[in-house]
Amino acid sequence: MSVSPTFRTFVLEQLGRVLPDLRARNMFGGVGLYSGPRFFALIDDDTLYFKVDDMTRADFEARGMGPFRPGGPEGEIMQYYAVPPDVMEDPDDLQRWADRAVAVAARKARAR
């Protein structure tokens, strides 16, 4: 799995418009995304995934989006789901979806 420079740039530009303190970090062939200290998203195989929990997962599933599976289709399901492509094109939608992913990351951090 990899991330093309073009897709990485697109995602960072779009998210940079709606999130303060956005940082990207290369990891395991993909890219981890942070808003401040919160690891809220990842990019892999030119797909953006947002962190989910029981409060937000249904929104992704209702849009037909699936989970990140680093081991392939039969691999472990991680708590990150693909972001609907149209969300990336609408700043207001992207703001809402990204804010919710950052909130999930904050809840997970508090639970530890």
Q: What pTM does this model have?
A: 0.94
Tens of pLDDT, residue by residue over 18-73, are 998 999 999 888 999 999 999 999 999 999 999 999 999 999 999 999 999 988 88
Query: What pLDDT was estimated at residue 1?
Result: 58
Nearest to 84 by CA among 72, 76, 74, 96: 96
Provide the Cα torsion 72, 56, 107, 83; round to 10°: 50
Instruction: Residue 43: give the domain boundaries.
Output: 5-111
Query: What pLDDT was estimated at residue 51?
Result: 98
Query: What pLDDT was estimated at residue 74?
Result: 82
Query: What pLDDT was estimated at residue 112?
Result: 67
Q: How many structural domains are present in the chain?
A: 1
The enclosing domain of 87 has a CATH number of: 3.30.1460.30
C-alpha–C-alpha distance, residues 73 and 70, integer Å: 8
77 DSSP assignment: P
Residue 89 is which amino acid? E
Tens of pLDDT, residue by residue over 65-108, are 999 998 888 888 899 999 999 999 999 999 999 999 999 999 98
